[in-house]
Amino acid sequence: MFRTAKAIALFALIATCGPASAEVAVSPEKAKLIQRIVELWHVENIGVAMLQEPVAESLRQSRSLLQGRVSTERQEAAMKDIAADAQKFLEETIPVVRTNTAKLIPTTVAPILAQKFTEDELRQIIAILESPVKAKFEATVPELQKALGEKLAAESAKTINPKLETLKQEIGTRMRTAITR
C-alpha cells in the first residue's frame, strides 16, 4: 500500500503532527515499522467489513420479509435479484472504501501507533503478524468453526429448532397484524 520512501516520510510527518499524536517525534525507522504493521494488518478490511455488514443485514431482512408472503419460487427469484444488486453495490463501493481507508491511515492509525508503541514493541507486533504459527492458526479457523458449528447444531437442534420455528411464526403474525392495520 505505502511502499515508497515518500510514504515513509509522510507517515513520519503525520505521526509528529497528526491529531492523534501528542507531538511524538517519529524516526524514519519507526515510520517504516508502522508502515509494515499497516501492510500486514490489512486495516483496509475494517472499512470493507463496515460496508458489508449493513448489506448483509439488508439481505437478511429481505429474506425474512419475503418468507411466508410469497411462494418459494418467487422468494428465490427475488432473493437472487436482491443478492445481485447487493453484489453490484459492493463491487462499486469497496474500491471507494479501500481508497478512503488508505488515505485516512496516515492521519488516524499511524499517529496512534507512533504514540502508543515503542520501536521495540512495533517490532514485536510485526513478529506476531508475520508468525507462521499465526498464519497456520488463521488457516485452521474455518475448519474449527465448521466442526464446532456442526456439532453445536446437532447438539442444540432438538431444543432450539422448535423454539426458533415458534419465534418465526410469532414474528410473521406480528408483521401481518402490523401490515393489515
The pLDDT tens digits of the residues spanning 48-61 come to 999 899 999 999 99
> What grid cell was written down for 75?
422468494
Cα 177 from Cα 181, distance rounded (Å): 6
Instruction: Write down the pLDDT at residue 89.
Output: 94
The pLDDT tens digits of the residues spanning 91-125 come to 999 999 999 998 999 999 999 999 999 999 999 99
For residue 30, give the nearest of 120, 129, 119, 121 by alpha carbon: 119
> What grid cell was written down for 112?
496512534
What's the whole-model pTM score?
Answer: 0.62
Q: Which residues contact 15 (CB under 8 A, 6 or more apart)?
A: 21, 24, 26, 30, 31, 34, 106, 110, 111, 113, 114, 115
